[in-house]
A and B are shown apart, each in its own frame.
Chain A
């Protein structure tokens, strides 16, 4: 079986700081995703990538950059962390067609 690994698990940043979150999968999945989850809310799509070096904006891309330099990894950068921001960032991947999504366990971000 495969696994999706998100690093770090916890991230504390300062206001205005640039922060990078990483996601690795060994399923050989084509498509990878970054979602933001706020307390009591569903997941909102930030960026996704359907293949290496591809990037597609989601509904919440402002304030973020993403990078898919290898098929197995997908990075997300918070370009300028906002004070008191607290959220969980979830990475997911899937193969093509009707295949299932697989989620990582998340990176918990706190900005002080």
Chain B
């Protein structure tokens, strides 16, 4: 069955430092993959998405992610973190006709001044 694992419940980085949030998925086939961000008391906003094609996808606000079929991973990266990036980040996978999406448990990003 399909699943998404975000191994880090919480990641702390200093403002200006680089960031990587990890995501592993489990699915036999080619998935659609997503990263969403959730700010306090808000719904989820799409950061970026991967549909089969170029493995490196660019998103909003300087985020990018790289799909690796061999590692079953879709890690999120940012070169320089800003305090406004403090939020919860969810990795998700969609299969088949893209009518269902499965979420990881999320990673809380904390930004130190």
Contacts and interface: CB of A to CB of B under 8 A. Distances in A.
What's the interface size class on A, roughly?
20 to 34
A85 B43 CA distance: 20
A75 B104 CA distance: 25
B90 A103 contact: no
Interface centre among A4, A42, A97, A100 (most CB of B within 10 A): A42
Interface stretch (A14-22, A43-51, A64-72, A76-84): A43-51
Interface string B73-113: 00000000000000000100000011111111110000000
A85 B86 CA distance: 27
Looking at chain A's contact residues, is the secondary structure mostly helix, strand, loop, or mixed? loop
B41 A105 contact: yes
Given A105-B41, A105-B42, A100 B106 contact: no
Interface string B38-81: 00011111100101000000000000000000000000000000
Contact of A40 (B4, B99, B106): B106
B43 A48 contact: no
Given A41-B106, A42-B105, A103 B44 contact: yes
A106 B41 CA distance: 8
Interface of A: 4, 31, 40-45, 48, 50, 58, 90, 92, 97-98, 100-101, 103-106
25 contacts: A4-B43, A31-B99, A40-B105, A41-B105, A42-B4, A42-B106, A43-B44, A43-B90, A45-B102, A48-B99, A48-B100, A58-B100, A90-B44, A92-B43, A98-B32, A98-B51, A100-B49, A101-B44, A101-B46, A103-B43, A103-B45, A105-B42, A106-B41, A106-B42, A106-B43
